[in-house]
Structure 1
Amino acid sequence: MKKVIKLSLAASMLALAMNANASDDINSKIDSLQKQINELKNSQLDTSDALEERIDEVETATLTDKIKFGIEFRTQVNNFDIEDAAGTSSSDSNIWSNRLRLNMGSDITDDMKFTGRLSMYKNWSDSNINLFSGMDPMQGRRPSDSGVFVERAYIDWTVAEGAVPVTLTIGRQPSSDGPSHQFKDNTVRKSTYSALSFDGAADGIVATVNLQKVSGIDGMALRVGYGKGYQDSSEMSYVGNPGGTNDTNVLGIFLDTGLGIEGSLLQLSAVQATDVVSNTTNIAGEDTNTNIGDVALYTAMVELTDIAKSGFDIFAHYAISQSKPNGDSGLMATDTDNNGIPDTNVPMGLLSHGVIGTDKKTGNAFWLGTRYTMPIESMNNPRIGLEYNQGSKNWFSFTQGSNSVTNKLATRGSAVEVYYIQPINRYAHIRLGAEMIDYEYTGTGYQIGAPMEVSSMGAMATDKLNNYYLLFNVAY
């Protein structure tokens, strides 16, 4: 009996040992199989990641093949000195700003091309929306918060070829930073219209008739443009109940031509804006916008670049403005006590206030400048420049969208600017400059209110404004 028990126990132990060995073998195979599964999963993940990366690369390449991108970045510091007509001086120094532009271009077909620009322009640490930066011509053109605006978005469509090609430019136009700003900005001409008369964002349609072939004159072209300075787009206007304010329609004609000298340009233009609006609000904050009259601008400009390979560039602009009030006005909240708090609603008409007449008001302005490129290769050929402009009592232009915070070309008085440009490489430069503005009449840059002699306004009017600035600019 004991032998049987011992044999049985031995058999059981042998079976357990055999089962344990089998179990270990199975577990080993399971572990090996799991390892293979994990390796397969990792391989699939790596393949998937690589595939996604390749797809992203293809999509990016496809996008960049269709649309070419470029950037412009600028950091600037301004230092302002101000003196009012009473002789009191003040200053506002160390004002920093950043400006970013994302430029886009695409050749859609042989006869159709897209160009766009997104812009951000802000003072450092500023999260507030500037009052004027929200106005259409100034969007992306004046310091505000970090919002991005569509400054340009247009299609160039060549609708006729042959001896007299015709191209339509449709959309948000290349109407800012026009000639002769390219000299100070250290770039090439990037806009059509004289910056003395117009500078800012604008929507419209322009037809360009290229006359080079038929005339034999380099750069000869005739442009006819239509746009809107204001459009009644309120919700009520779509249901047959407009606000009663007419659209501001703008018509212009421009003739460009070379002068038979390499690097030369002459432009003659005439622009008519009808039913200009007041853009006014009263003390209660209510919109009192109304049509106040018509404005016509006649401009002539000439540029000579690198005269006889001397390194000298010169330019001259002259313009006449004719403002025709219609007798209407918008109530404007006005600070008559000069304490910073509006206290009176004043009727504001076109270059008039109080009693609004209908007499035509004519103004004029000119802008002269020169730039010299120094042949110093070791310093990347630095440049120096000098500009002078002067405007009369009733001078008015559409330059509210100027990138310059002083909008010096709208001055009713005189302005001098000197600058030095130090190129860093082909894409970057530093500019050091000074603007000195002497105001003779109030209301510079505004279409409303009668210009008054600054000398009679005391502490209520700025007499002199100086700005000493330094900027760093990259365009790539």
Structure 2
Amino acid sequence: MVKKISTLALAGLLALPAMASAGAGGAAAASDIQAQVDALTRQLEQLKSEMAKVKAAPAPVSDQSSRIQALEEKSEQWDLASRIQLSGDFRARGDYYTADTKAYYPMLVPLGAGGALVPNNGLLSGGVPVQMPDAQYDNKTMFTNRFRLDMRAKALEDVEFKGRLAMYKAWGHQNNPVYDVNGSPTMLMDSNATRQPNDSILRVDRAFVNWNNIGGAPVWFSVGRRPTTDGPPNHLRMNQDERMATPTAYMDWPFDGVSVGYAYNNLFGIQDAPGRVRICWGRGFEDGLQQDLNGNNLDDTDFTGVSWDIYKKGDRFAYIQSFLAMNIFNYPASDTYDALGMTYSDVYNMPRENVGNLLHTSAVYMDKWQNLNYFGSLGWSRTDPDGSGMFNGPATGVNTESDDGYAVHVGVRYDIPDSLFKLGAEYNHGSKYWISMTPGHDDLYQSKLATRGNVYEVYGIYDIPGGEAVSKYGKAFIRLGYQHYDYNYTGSGQWGFQPVDMDELLTDPNGAQMGAPIESADQVYMTFEAAF
């Protein structure tokens, strides 16, 4: 082809002298010269066309193979890089907190100025017990940063990994600055390791593998650290409109375990009524290798139960869960008393031990009417103590009777039409013997769902107009809220000591407390959050 083009070009050049000679012959030859020029022009155009075809011609087979191999290698690299889906969120939060306590009789009093703590003997001996006055505790400025990184990847078509790493720390602090009002730090445990501010370490918050579509059926198996925090209905006030976890329903406890689930589209013959049911088991506390010493070793604490999405379609959601916490203990190993060089046995002749089981059942219903989101949740707890007892009292001693507790939680969120604002309000109430399993709460100081009394909360959300979201995860918002805690009984969230009416702290010997009992608390918080 190249040789042919070259020949045509040479013929055209040789024709130029001939055309010049013809021009000397007179005007008669002008028409012939013009005809030759037109022919030469056509030849040049053909030359350009042939050259363009040469440039566009496929490369030799050897070159094609090299290019294909390079593309395949790049494709494999792209696949390795893109098979892990990453997302995350960041939150900066500021809190103002103040708590009022009531006058009370302490169980422990100092022996002389700066002396060791000893029992307040006047309580039971008929003498004059030491009394502690009411007081106020506050932290006017508490700032925290929280960063979470979510990841998702498939090992096989039906085997998928999901995980989340989390860092949660206070500004200017590298350990846990959250304190109870009696001055003891909130313990960092497996059940709140990524849920309480501590240091800047990135910890594993969630990590589990799902084996889906087992045998081609809508059945799955899951094992690992469970997604059991921030689920419905709490996701409404957190401005997470997609379900991010198992519904909270008074079970806000990160734990490790397994579940087997089944999904359905028709409920009890009702067409187009989708839902799913899961049977779960997990370990709440592992006591490790022990030497058998007179049968006083702790047993591991386990959970087992059922988690059932009865109906989930659109905004309508009905859910129920029931579980049994087995072999729960009276206090964890790193308790405040150990820090004081004391144990329960030193003060109450009560060694650290298992004290029985706890049965827990709760239900949630959620829906949306136009722009109004609303929900209601009910909870029931029942203690099943062994010979060591639960809800024991200094005067009444060991209590081996079962006690029932109840709770209610209701709330709304109104998404203002054609606006960037959302307004919400929530209320919850817990009875005298109510126990929630919520150490993974996101209320900073006190879990509101564990309260034996009332909590009122209002909040507003402003979605930041920062342009279009760059992914389906993208959003940024500011949240401002206020919580008021009103306690009716002592000991919210624990089962060790007898709950005492706030109005009877100085009239009932069982009113003796390990720390200052909170009567009321107020908390204002503001967050700046971005999901990506």
Name the TM-score, length of structure 1 as normaliser: 0.76
- Partner SS for 1:177: coil
- Structure 1 position 451 matched with structure 2 position 499: yes
Q: Which amino acid aligns with 1:315?
A: F
**Aligned counterparts of 2:200 and 2:505: Cα–Cα separation in 1:** 36
| Partner deviation per Cα, 1:86-120 (whole Å, 9 max, x = no partner) | 56444321111111111111122211111101111
| Partner deviation per Cα, 1:254-275 (whole Å, 9 max, x = no partner) | 221227x631111122111111
- Structure 1 position 146 matched with structure 2 position 209: no
Task: Assess, with a 3 A threshold, how the Cα gap between structure 1 residues 463 and 279 changes in structure 2: closer, same or farther.
Answer: same
Q: Structure 2 residue aligned with 1:384, among 392, 416, 423? A: 423
- Partner of residue 406, structure 2: 364
Task: Assess, with a 3 A threshold, how the Cα gap between structure 1 residues 445 and 107 changes in structure 2: closer, same or farther.
Answer: same
Aligned-residue sequence identity (percent) comes to 28
- Structure 1 position 254 matched with structure 2 position 293: no
**Aligned counterparts of 1:89 and 1:322: Cα–Cα separation in 2:** 33
Contact 1:141 1:200 in 2 (8 A): no
Task: Assess, with a 3 A threshold, how the Cα gap between structure 1 residues 141 and 110 changes in structure 2: closer, same or farther.
Answer: same
- Structure 1 position 77 matched with structure 2 position 94: yes
Q: Structure 2 residue aligned with 1:311, among 354, 371, 377? A: 371
Contact 1:81 1:465 in 2 (8 A): yes
Structure 1 range deviating more: 279-288 or 420-429: 279-288
Q: By how many angstroms is 1:448 displaced? A: 1.9
Higher strand share: 1
**Where in structure 2 are the equivalents of 1:59-78 lying within 5 Å?**
61=78, 63-78=80-95
| Partner deviation per Cα, 1:368-398 (whole Å, 9 max, x = no partner) | 0000101124xxx310000000000100011
Q: Which amino acid aligns with 2:320?
A: L
- Partner of residue 47, structure 2: none
**Where in structure 2 are the equivalents of 1:296-307 lying within 5 Å?**
296-305=359-368, 307=369
RMSD across aligned positions (CA): 2.7
- Partner of residue 15, structure 1: none
- Structure 1 position 228 matched with structure 2 position 283: yes
- Partner of residue 270, structure 1: 322
- Partner of residue 424, structure 1: 464
Q: By how many angstroms is 1:156 displaced? A: 1.0
- Structure 1 position 325 matched with structure 2 position 385: yes
Structure 1 range deviating more: 428-437 or 284-293: 284-293
Q: Which amino acid aligns with 2:84?
A: I
Count of residue pairs the alignment pairs up: 391
Task: Assess, with a 3 A threshold, how the Cα gap between structure 1 residues 450 and 127 changes in structure 2: closer, same or farther.
Answer: same
**Aligned counterparts of 1:241 and 1:205: Cα–Cα separation in 2:** 33
**Aligned counterparts of 1:436 and 1:205: Cα–Cα separation in 2:** 37
- Partner of residue 111, structure 2: none
Greater Rg, structure 1 or structure 2? Answer: 2
- Partner SS for 2:191: helix
Q: Which amino acid aligns with 2:308?
A: L
- Structure 1 position 102 matched with structure 2 position 149: yes
Structure 1 range deviating more: 239-248 or 361-370: 239-248
Q: By how many angstroms is 1:366 displaced? A: 0.6
- Partner SS for 1:436: strand
**Where in structure 2 are the equivalents of 1:168-207 lying within 5 Å?**
168-187=221-240, 188-193=242-247, 195-207=248-260
- Partner of residue 19, structure 2: none
| Partner deviation per Cα, 1:159-192 (whole Å, 9 max, x = no partner) | 5254x51111110001111210110011121111
Structure 1 range deviating more: 449-458 or 136-145: 449-458
**Aligned counterparts of 1:325 and 1:398: Cα–Cα separation in 2:** 17
Contact 1:325 1:351 in 2 (8 A): no
Contact 2:296 2:353 in 1 (8 A): no
Q: Which amino acid aligns with 1:174?
A: P
Task: Assess, with a 3 A threshold, how the Cα gap between structure 1 residues 357 and 424 changes in structure 2: closer, same or farther.
Answer: same
**Aligned counterparts of 2:215 and 2:264: Cα–Cα separation in 1:** 11
- Structure 1 position 245 matched with structure 2 position 302: no
| Partner deviation per Cα, 1:222-253 (whole Å, 9 max, x = no partner) | 1100011112223x47x999972111121111
**Aligned counterparts of 2:293 and 2:76: Cα–Cα separation in 1:** 47
Q: Which amino acid aligns with 2:399?
A: G
Q: Which amino acid aligns with 2:172?
A: S
- Structure 1 position 464 matched with structure 2 position 520: yes
**Aligned counterparts of 1:158 and 1:404: Cα–Cα separation in 2:** 35
- Structure 1 position 293 matched with structure 2 position 356: yes
- Partner SS for 1:460: coil
**Aligned counterparts of 1:442 and 1:303: Cα–Cα separation in 2:** 31
Q: Which amino acid aligns with 1:473?
A: E
Q: Structure 1 residue aligned with 2:441, among 397, 402, 406? A: 402
Which structure 1 residue ranges, 5 or more long, are not aligned? Answer: 1-56, 329-348
Contact 2:175 2:197 in 1 (8 A): no
- Partner of residue 411, structure 1: 451
